[in-house]
Structure 1
Amino acid sequence: MSIIDPYQHIVVEHQYSHVFTVTVRKATNVTKGAIGDMLDTPDPYVELFIPTAPDCRKRTKHFNNDINPVWNETFEFILDPNLENVLEVTLMDANYVMDETLGTSTFPISSLKLGEKKEVQLTFNDVTEMTLELSLEVCSSTDLRFSMALCDEEKRFRQQRRDNIMHSIKSFLGESSQNLTTSRDVPVIAVLGSGGGFRAMVGFAGVMKALYESGVLDCATYIAGLSGSTWYMSTLYSHPDFPAKGPKEINEELMHSVSHSPLLLLTPQKVKRYIDALWNKKSSGQPVTFTDIFGMLIGETLIHDRMDTTLSNMKEKVNNAQCALPLFTCLHVKPDVSELMFADWVEFSPYEIGMAKYGTFMSPDLFGSKFFMGTVVKKYAENPLHFLMGVWGSAFSILFNRVLGVSNSQNEGPTMEEELENIRLKHLVSNDSSDSEDESQHPKGSEGADAKRESRERLQESSQESWVQRMLMALVGDSALFNTREGRAGKVHNFMLGLNLNSCYPLSPLAELLTQESLEEDEPAAVADPDEFERIYEPLDVKSKKIHIVDSGLTFNLPYPLILRPQRGVDLIISFDFSARPSDSSPPFK
């Protein structure tokens, strides 16, 4: 178990996983039976299946008309050593219409000792011999960082930034800064921007310009935002000339970008690009929702000339502490529970992404990849910045049914993934990497042979066109696709899949020390229902393969949880609220 931080409410009990390596060497005398061999020579390939593994199904390439194939292909599975893991090896024959199973054999992985490398001979149909090389090792390294402490990169940034800020404060305060003698005396200042869509983006643009020109921005260590404010922060920090070019010049470019007609986002060329990107993401095994579309529309509006940029690219803006560290946020929610009752704050910086509630963090390029027990089992390319912008400001897509005036009574229907899957099945389009919630249910031989590839390519374009029609009809019609959080919220693979969580460390200052009975009887209740937030300390579901992420503004419209982390030790908060309050005299936190 990792060292427990006294501020940590839920602790991850880290257990090492096992790496099971399978090398498929060769097979001899592959046969379809006496009659089958007379009609056709086998086109063999091997399918490996471990039901308890997260990336449970893998396969070799196939050879045409070869009864003695030599593959020499190696595959790795990440396994939970506490489960009964069994390898199922299936010898398949690739056909044009439906692949044929030639035989199946199993191997109990528990019979293999740690550190042992073993050659295994499997027999199929009393004739075919297959040679496998198996090994089992402890996976001692993880791709997640388990700690409430700040990462080393942020610690180095803070030290460099403190030195820079000391000079900036002396310049800003003049003679009043005589007592500022060492960098230890430098306060940690954070600038906060609220949500509020384009209103917040425009408001924060003005705020940043004023802070920059006054010199206050040079004294800040952090800039944190959510929803609309993150759109401006993303535009600013992704700009190739920032910080050499200030907010004034960048704001002029931004004003020009948002002045274009929204119809320009829906030209045939751009729509085709959106569809290609969504189709490729789905085909690679990643979930897609309406937030993906929303993110592309926001990206085309604000950062159209740098749609390929990522959060990691912002490191070059802060590596020398030349400007404040940007912090972004969203919420992890459950699909069937109100975000007011359950929500985990997820924080994003150019250095790390993670949940402080659990003390789990990862580098930005791993967010969205498949994890199991803290180890990446399938890495995808880093999500583009526009996808994150869609997640950070996804309140519009989450509240889409309110915009259209659709009733909430319709709460069941197909998700976007199911829409894509229906099209795939309808047109016999193969998907090499499924992102379904239960991958073990996929039928054997669902991977097609080369003979079917031409057919898939011919149908690919028509399949995409069919899906476009369904999406357009869902947008303008009474479809259940956008009436549920499942279809609208952002969705990524669960990076905490397979971890063990221990809740409520008793010495934590975050633990509840007072009971309802200890409150004074005459003290007014803070909320109408004292049990309304009782689920806020519930842990994440570590068995769910995917998590839903939404706009933080749906619960609280300022990113205070990021800044109030004790590890950041912020001394001064300068907060700007762009919420749509009834009047200027309305309290900001009501």
Structure 2
Amino acid sequence: MERLTPREPPGHPHQREASACWRLTVRVLEARGLGWTDVLSEADPYVVLQMPTAPGIKFKTKTVTNSSHPVWNESFSFLIQRQVKNVLELSVYDEDSVTEDDACFKFLYDISEVLPGKLLRKTFSLRPQGQEELDVEFLMEKTSDRPENLITNNVLVARELSCLDIRLESMGSTAVVSNQENLELELVLKGSYEDTQTSALGTASAFCFHYMVAQEAELSGRLKSSKGNGWNSGSSAGHFTVPLKPLTMEKEMTIDIPATNAPGVRLQLKAKGCPEELAVRLGFDLCAEEKAFLSRRKQVVAKALKKALQLDRDLQEDEVPIVGIMATGGGARAMTSLYGHLLALKKLGLLDCVTYFSGISGATWTMAQLYGDPEWSQKDLEGPIRHAREHLAKSKLEAFSPERLASYRRELELRAEEGHPTTFVDLWALVLESMLHDQVMDQKLSGQRAALEQGQNPLPLYLSLNVKENNLETLDFKEWVEFSPYEVGFLKYGAFVPSELFGSEFFMGQLMKRLPESRICFLEGIWSNIFSLNLLDAWYDLTSSSDTWRQHIKDKIRNLEDPPASLKTSSWLEALWLQPGTALAQAFKGFLTGRLLYQHSSNFLQGLQLHQDYCNQKAFSTWADSQLDSTPGQLTPQEPQLCLVDAGYFLNTSYPSMFRPGRRLDLILSFDYSLSSPFEMLQQTEVYCRGLGLPFPHVEPSPQDQRQPKECHLFSDPTCPDAPVLLHFPLVNASFKDHSAPGVQRDPTELLAGQVDLTGATSPYSLFNMTYKEEDFDRLLQLSDYNVRKSQDAILQALRTVLKHQAPAARLPGAQS
């Protein structure tokens, strides 16, 4: 293998490699102990072989009838790339002439165990579950074809693509062409992005297929009547297959379609290379646009810190600490409280000290509204607050009026015509927009870049979870997906696309079909999708405590620290749900884990393959908290669509965004909007982060603080310099009930304004309440504003602490020479 560029450490941009392909020959020998029987006979077994990294290729042995000890001795070959994780799937079926063939068991085999040039015989066994065994031989040999060009970040691999252009030509007479107008040509290229395309004969037609250069692909075609008479009769007439390996790049090849009722019809085939640059960015580092933003923002932050802390000199760029806001979810309660917190920071002159601004669920409603104005943090917030107050106080029935429902239907139909999959969550997004704004807000995520051009605002970060649609609960499979005005991407895989391309269709990192960028309301529907809970999630929420959650996460992390059996043995059985006699269990599991209401988005990872060493990459394992991470065939690159839900289903926080390489924060302002357990989210985050090796301060509130939380709590870890200082602001009414402003005691006529009901049972701020009385909105806003202003000294002291760490030479007022 020839490496085109030096290997770069994790976190750096992707690397390019030229790597030869190999020929893997698999010989299925025999099976023993197949004890399952049909009604009238023993099993009629056959074996199916396929490999996700060799798409479109599936082999099947002959069927051996009435045998518990079938002998096949059949050989099959795959062209493989050893730089990717190749897992062979060996499925044994029992053929049935009446019903669907029974899937008896499936073995998954990591072929990295097969050494080049050495014959390896392997026996796959169901023991101790059963006595069934399957004998297979493997041989790996190098091919003489040219090396394949790869792009990789050591977790994902983009393989070289070819584009096959096809022109349909008709050379017959006018009468023949007229007759051909009743025929359609279907072309199929398995494993390609397009897979199947159809066009009527008698018209000028062009086709295009994108497929891997190293794929041993075949183009197949057949004719059918466009009048509904079915496929062209005859066993071979109108059917053809063309191997694509003999095609020479950039040279045309002509083939005639063998059909008597379509004489003179031919295809012109021409293969050409695809662009070398990817539309998907593979890399764990920050994008160039964010790095440029950081430089601009640090200039703003430096001036704000000099003023707030009364520094005697200007700070240099490398001395500026990174401060982030982390806002939890909580529906309209989170939206309202966040306005109050931001209002206080603005009054204190501290909002310009913040570089990152992250949130989930209801907090994103505030963020999306604010970033519609490129200068929002440089103005007072009265306008946005007045807008929120007005629309929270109004009746929500108008959002469900016949006129509004009709407008939702029209927009969803238009969205479908553009190519976006539409689900109930898209309807929820439109209803939410109507409730919060009472009009169509023509804003897009990429449009928020205008708010960052001069570094005039913090960088907003939104977070969601990608989960399994219908076979796992959220705790068992979850992947963080980050949204920013610059990019949308997976933290775990190090794969990102420009925000305006999210929702478009990709294959092997190349942009295949660009769709119009969604309005931001549809993203808010993702970020605050409260309808995707499956029954197992709901049952867990009802029956578990915070201690149960922590123990569950510790168990998951402990399991991740121990290599799974699949990695120890290189071969393993797929889930036992595939074993005979478990159809009822399979259906019941699907009932428990299915998500009826979720958001579908095109998967921009589609086609990309996992690197052979992906599991050992620190950048991947930092986020690897899924039991499927050692099973590449079940990870997201193999999925046609993403299933995105509210991040609060797992952890009501956006902390993962704060721990990306290049984004290490010095101080985090944590705004928690839960009505109970004011430290639970923080303690869960500590368990999660520490279990994955991420620096995080110890969260150990005193018994007194547990009983009576204060407006602000400081957590830090002096023994761990990489851990951020944490200022935590729970939603509490500690002294606001007695004070109209910090240090200003309420007189008896003002006491009612300090009564903010934050109890779960009677509070007007419950999660599902979307309509507030104006006085309730005002009280919650003022409470949040007060709690931050009351904590001014704590915030300034925390800023001094992190500044001393970043800039020890900076002179602070009162410091000695």
| TM-score (normalised: structure 1) | 0.73
CA distance in 1, matches of 2:620, 2:155: 13
Deviations 1:516-547 (A, max 9, x none): xxxxxxxxxxxxxxx99655676523222112
Q: Kindly indicate whether residue 689 of structure 2 is the aligned counterpart of residue 580 of structure 1.
A: no
Kindly report which structure 2 residues correspond to 1:381-460, keeping only aligned pairs within 5 A, or say none.
381-394=516-529, 396-399=530-533
Distance across 2 between alignment mates of 1:400 and 1:255: 33
Of the three residues 6, 10, 13, the one matched with 2:10 is: 6
Q: % of aligned pairs identical?
A: 27
1:251 is matched with 385
Question: Distance between the aligned counterparts of 2:514 and 2:493, measured in 1?
Answer: 22
Q: Which one scores higher on RCO, CA 8 angstroms, separation ≥ 6?
A: 1
In the alignment, residue 74 of structure 1 is paired with which amino acid? A
Looking at structure 2, the residues matched to 372 and 144 of structure 1 have their Cα atoms a distance apart, in angstroms, of 9
Q: Cα 1:10–1:262, aligned 2, differ >3 Å: closer, same or farther?
A: farther
Q: Deviation of residue 127 (structure 1)? A: 5.0
Seen in structure 2, the aligned counterparts of structure 1 residues 377 and 181 have a Cα distance that, compared at 3 Å, is: closer
Structure 2 stretches of 5 or more lacking a match?
Answer: 13-152, 543-589, 685-817
Distance 1:26 1:507 in 2: 54
Per mean C-alpha deviation after superposition, the further-off stretch among 305-314 and 234-243 is 234-243
Contact 2:492 2:620 in 1 (8 A): no
Structure 2 CA distance for partners of 1:131 and 1:160, relative to 1, 3 Å: same
Aligned equivalent of 1:124, options 248, 252, 259: 259
- Which of 177, 190, 194 in structure 2 is aligned with 1:51? 190
Aligned counterparts of 2:479 and 2:455: Cα–Cα separation in 1: 29
Question: Which AA in structure 2 matches 1:53?
Answer: S
Q: 1:327 to 1:586 in 2, by over 3 A?
A: closer
Q: Which amino acid aligns with 1:166?
A: A
Is the 8 Å Cα contact of residues 343 and 536 (structure 1) preserved in structure 2?
Answer: no
Q: Distance in 2 between matches of 1:285 and 1:118?
A: 33
Summarize the Cα distance change of 1:281–1:100 in structure 2 as closer, same or farther, 3 Å threshold. Answer: farther
**What's the CA shift for 1:172?**
2.3
SS in 1 for 2:324: strand
**C-alpha distance in 1 between matches for 2:410 and 2:591:** 21
CA drift of 1:496 comes to 1.2
What is the Cα deviation at residue 401 of structure 1? 7.3
Residue of 618, 622, 635 corresponding to 1:508: 618
Distance in 1 separating the partners of 2:180 and 2:618: 68
Q: CA deviation at 1:59?
A: 3.6
Amino acid at match of 2:479: D
1:306 Cα shift? 4.2
How far, CA to CA, are the matches of 1:402 and 1:260 in structure 2? 36
Tell me the equivalent position of 1:418: none
**1:511 and 1:108, CA in 2 relative to 1: closer, same or farther beyond 3 A?**
closer
- CA distance in 1 between partners of 2:619 and 2:421 (Å): 37
Q: Tell me the equivalent position of 1:203.
A: 337
1:13-412 pair list within 5 angstroms: 13-26=157-170, 28-29=172-173, 42-60=181-199, 69-71=202-204, 73-95=205-227, 101=232, 103-125=238-260, 127-139=262-274, 140-173=276-309, 176-239=310-373, 242-243=376-377, 245-282=379-416, 285-335=419-469, 336-394=471-529, 396-399=530-533
Out of 639, 646, 661, which is 1:566 matched to?
Answer: 661
> In 2, are the aligned partners of 1:290 and 1:397 still within 8 Å (CA)?
no
Instruction: Name the aligned partner's letter for residue 495 of structure 1.
Output: F
d(CA) in 1 for partners of 2:217, 2:503: 26
Find the residue that maps to 2:676 and give its secondary structure.
coil
* Alpha-carbon contact 1:243-1:317 (below 8 Å) kept: no
Q: Distance in 2 between matches of 1:586 and 1:373?
A: 41
Partner Cα distance (1:329, 1:310) in 2: 16
CA gap of 1:78–1:270, structure 2 versus 1, over 3 A, is same
Greater Rg over alpha carbons, structure: 2
Structure 2 counterpart SS, 1:293: helix
Matched pairs, number: 483
Counterpart of 1:493 in structure 2: which amino acid? S
How far apart, in 1, do the equivalents of 2:630 and 2:423 lie?
27
Q: Is the 8 A contact 1:330 1:552 kept in 2?
A: yes
Sort the Cα spacing of 1:132 and 1:197 in 2 relative to 1 into closer, same or farther, 3 A: same
Question: CA 1:399–1:508 in 2, change beyond 3 Å: closer, same or farther?
Answer: closer
> Partners in 2 of 1:265 and 1:367 — Cα distance?
28
Matched, 1:554 2:649: yes
Which residue is 1:487 aligned to?
A: 596
**Aligned counterparts of 2:359 and 2:663: Cα–Cα separation in 1:** 16
Aligned CA distance change for structure 1 residues 587 and 19 (closer, same or farther; 3 Å): closer
Contact conserved, 1:30 with 1:44, CA < 8 A, in 2?
no
1:57 CA displacement? 2.7
Preserved contact between residue 327 and residue 359 of structure 2 (Cα < 8 Å): yes
Secondary structure of 1:488 counterpart:
coil
Spell out, residue by residue over 1:196-221, the C-alpha distance to the aligned partner (whole angstroms, 9 max, x if none). 12211111111112222322111111
Q: Which residue of 2 aligns with 1:411?
A: none
Report which of the two has the higher share of helix.
1
User: What is the one-letter code of the residue matched to 1:114?
Assistant: M
Ranges in structure 1 where 5+ consecutive residues have no aligned partner? 64-68, 409-480, 513-530
Per the TM alignment, residue 162 of structure 1 is displaced from its structure 2 partner at its CA by 1.1
* Aligned CA distance change for structure 1 residues 589 and 117 (closer, same or farther; 3 Å): same
For the 8 Å contact 1:23–1:74, the answer to whether it is kept is yes
SS in 1 for 2:460: strand
Q: Which moved more, 1:6-15 or 1:493-502?
A: 6-15
Give CA-to-partner distance per residue, 1:271-312, whole Å, 9 cap, x none. 122223333444555433221121111122234444332111
2 CA distance for matches of 1:137 and 1:231? 46
Contact persistence 2:375–2:451 (CA under 8 A): no
Offset of residue 5 of structure 1: 4.2
Query: What is the RMSD computed on CA atoms of the aligned residues?
Result: 3.5
Structure 2 letter corresponding to 1:86: E
User: C-alpha separation between the residues in 1 aligned to 2:666 and 2:626?
Assistant: 29
Deviations 1:416-446 (A, max 9, x none): xxxxxxxxxxxxxxxxxxxxxxxxxxxxxxx
Which residue identity does 1:110 align to in structure 2?
Answer: K
Partners of 2:532 and 2:595 within 8 A in 1: no
One-letter identity of the residue aligned with 2:206: T
Q: Is the contact between residue 292 and residue 490 of structure 1 (CA under 8 Å) also seen in structure 2?
A: yes
